[in-house]
Chain A
Amino acid sequence: MNRTEPLILGIESSCDETGVGIVRGTQLLVNAVSSSMEEHVRFGGVIPEIASRAHLDAMVPTLRAALKEADVTLADIDAIAVTSGPGLAGALMVGVCAAKALAVATGKPLYAINHLVAHVGAALLDESLGAVSPGDLTAGNDGGLVVGNDGGRPGRFENIGALLVSGGHTEILRVGSIAEDVELLGSTIDDAAGEAFDKVARLLGLNYPGGPAIDALARTGNALAIKFPRGLSVPKYMGTPAEPGPHRYDFSFSGLKTAVARCVERFEAEGQQPPVADIAAGFQEAVLDVITAKAVLACRENGISTLLLGGGVAANSRLRELAQQRTRAAGIRLLVPRLSLCTDNGAMVAALGAQLVMRGVRPSGIAFVPDSSMPVSSISL
């Protein structure tokens, strides 16, 4: 197997995107995605069974399209990587069973990959962020994304932070080494941020997905008109740097969502039209204020000087703006991969698989069990 620039095929099916990506080392060859989002619109959120059914039908066509676009054959591939968790159990099963069959039919090694760590790996594929190919490493690359003091092994992240915000996740990670050392610093204790956007969008009569709809409407509203609560931000949860509280880097959006509902109802009870633009702006500010403040706090208190943004909510213009302002003020470098790499995709799975191959990590075999709540400390199975 080529361990310097391995050709890796990645499969993703943890939510509503069927993704097949192919990378060579840190070079992106193809990122084919088939989404079932349209089928979830009328429900206002992802329906796991509908997503799983769509994965089954999209898997082989997406693989076929990826191979064609990248102009590679299965025989050329060095290894296969598949998301084994966290994610929707039924959805994961489709990708995992397909990937196992692919591994057996081709005789290629299979890596069972952590979806959240793969989001971090996505950044390696965006050349505009300064990711360097393994061949460049000997040149020093102190300005590049890929840094390491262990002899400059390919693609190594050294102590960066990752803020992952999507419909299914809201997490802050510390990435000591993408292939070996990832730690969960904080996460949501109830809804994911993107899920809160979807639910509030519905309250305000907006379409699914809620993120883009609220982002657009909020631009016409006054974020200060209505003050919404910032979850888990009071001292009893935050504590102090010396004595951190129980949820110092954690998030909660459930109470915020209820606050929005009550707010809308109050206006309606008084026979008034709710000021939806102001509500959207106030809600969005409450979510993003906490997210960015806690992410920066986590970076400062954990010696992290580079923060990577990932997940579908990275598309939110206000999140980008706030994250940019606050990281700059704190002297933290912010990396935002292009959106097609931020949302769920197979290329990021392949990118992490490539890192594992390059570092000589053993493949997972074909007997592993997908884990819908796979912890980030488990980078591969």
Chain B
Amino acid sequence: MLILSIDTSAIASAALLRTVPASDGVKASAAVVGSFATVDTRSHAEVLVPGIQSLFGDAAVEGPALDAIVVGVGPGPFTGLRSGIAAARMLSFVWNVPLHGVMSLDALAWDVSHNGYRAQDQDQDPTTGPPPPDRNPAGGDFLVATDARRKEVYWARYSQDGTLLAVPHVGPAAELPALPAFGAGAGLYREDLLARGCTVPDAFADAQPTAASLGLSAAVGLVDGGRLLASSPLYLRESDAKVPGPRKRAL
């Protein structure tokens, strides 16, 4: 099946993925066939849709033969996050393609548990060759964190194989459990995390969730007919609005 993946929880990104069903004892898998990603985290409204279009070229007009759209539902800064979900919902409506939500931090967890961390682990002996692809050799649970602004991070805890262990949180980095912490949110608050007893692997210190990894993390579940999330954003914070109190008097 052909999947369009979109994530705007931090950077703006989109990817096209093709899944390969399981056969002869080989597990189902997915491969990225095209992707787009920004570096900055503040240009979603202008660059996201052109980026999506670039994945399809002229085929967009015809309505590509998509089987599913997955969109990162955060947590992430609100305005950027909505950009991706607004676009995904519209594409899903016009093309009449099912839309699924995926928790955005899962994209980073996928990277950690499936390739990036082990391959770039400085302690790894290069003579032993590449690691098994679906294990986090750090062992044990790990954290993924992205920038929540306001001196806080969005974070979640995963088991060694990348399974989400609890709902994501937002809060100061200094309150995270003492575990390896991956992602730009960890890099941003390295000192706080080290003081907590966390480790902050350099290879992931500026890593952001990407649509490509988000799609990979969701693809196998989709092939198996698994249920993903709705496309409702995970804001984790209310709006700052306060119900006004009694007025201040000058007299």
CB <8 Å contact, B90 and A98: yes
CB <8 Å contact, A102 and B244: no
A residues 51-69 in Cβ contact with B at 8 Å? 52-53, 55-56, 59-60, 63-64
B52 contacts the other chain (CB 8 A): yes
Q: Interface digits, B208-250 against A, CB 8 Å rule (1 contact, 0 not)?
A: 0000000000000000000000000101000111111001011
A260–B235 alpha-carbon span in the complex (Å): 39
A47–B242 alpha-carbon span in the complex (Å): 9
A202–B61 alpha-carbon span in the complex (Å): 51
A59–B94 alpha-carbon span in the complex (Å): 13
CB <8 Å contact, A59 and B89: yes
A92–B243 alpha-carbon span in the complex (Å): 24
A59–B91 alpha-carbon span in the complex (Å): 12
CB <8 Å contact, A105 and B45: no
A residues 33-77 in Cβ contact with B at 8 Å? 42-44, 47-50, 52-53, 55-56, 59-60, 63-64, 74
CB <8 Å contact, B49 and A100: yes
A215–B93 alpha-carbon span in the complex (Å): 42
Chain B residues within 8 Å of A56, by CB: 82, 85-86, 89, 233
Chain B residues within 8 Å of A44, by CB: 244
A366–B50 alpha-carbon span in the complex (Å): 6
A369–B95 alpha-carbon span in the complex (Å): 25
CB <8 Å contact, B45 and A101: no
Chain A residues within 8 Å of B132, by CB: none
Set B61, B88, B239: member contacting A50, Cβ < 8 A? B239
A268–B251 alpha-carbon span in the complex (Å): 9
A350 contacts the other chain (CB 8 A): no
Which chain B residue shows the least CB distance to A99? B90
A104 contacts the other chain (CB 8 A): yes
A56–B234 alpha-carbon span in the complex (Å): 13
A102–B90 alpha-carbon span in the complex (Å): 6
Query: Taking the nearest CB of chain A, how far is it from the CB of B36, in angstroms?
Result: 13
A63–B86 alpha-carbon span in the complex (Å): 13
Chain B residues within 8 Å of A89, by CB: 79
B residues 4-58 in Cβ contact with A at 8 Å? 44-50, 52-53
A370 contacts the other chain (CB 8 A): yes
A373–B50 alpha-carbon span in the complex (Å): 23
CB <8 Å contact, B94 and A98: no
Grouping DSSP codes into helix (H, G, I), strand (E, B) and loop, the B interface class, with mixed when no group exceeds half, is: helix
A side interface size, CB within 8 A: 45
Query: Taking the nearest CB of chain A, how far is it from the CB of B165, in angstroms?
Result: 28
CB <8 Å contact, A366 and B53: yes
B194 contacts the other chain (CB 8 A): no
A122 contacts the other chain (CB 8 A): no
Chain B residues within 8 Å of A94, by CB: 82-83, 86
Chain A residues within 8 Å of B130, by CB: none
Chain A residues within 8 Å of B247, by CB: 202-203, 261
Identify the interface centre among B46, B63, B88, B95: most chain A CB within 10 Å of its CB: B46
Chain B residues within 8 Å of A269, by CB: 251
Identify the interface centre among B47, B235, B241, B244: most chain A CB within 10 Å of its CB: B241
A262–B249 alpha-carbon span in the complex (Å): 8
Which chain B residue shows the least CB distance to A44? B244
Chain A residues within 8 Å of B78, by CB: 49, 52-53, 90
The 8 lowest CB-CB distance pairs between A and B, nearest first, are A107-B61, A49-B239, A100-B49, A105-B94, A101-B90, A101-B87, A47-B241, A265-B251
**Can you give 30 contacting A-B residue pairs, CB < 8 Å?**
A43-B241, A44-B244, A47-B241, A48-B239, A50-B241, A52-B78, A55-B82, A56-B85, A56-B89, A90-B78, A92-B45, A93-B44, A93-B45, A93-B82, A93-B83, A93-B86, A94-B82, A94-B83, A96-B45, A97-B44, A98-B86, A100-B48, A101-B49, A102-B90, A102-B94, A107-B60, A265-B250, A265-B251, A369-B46, A370-B45
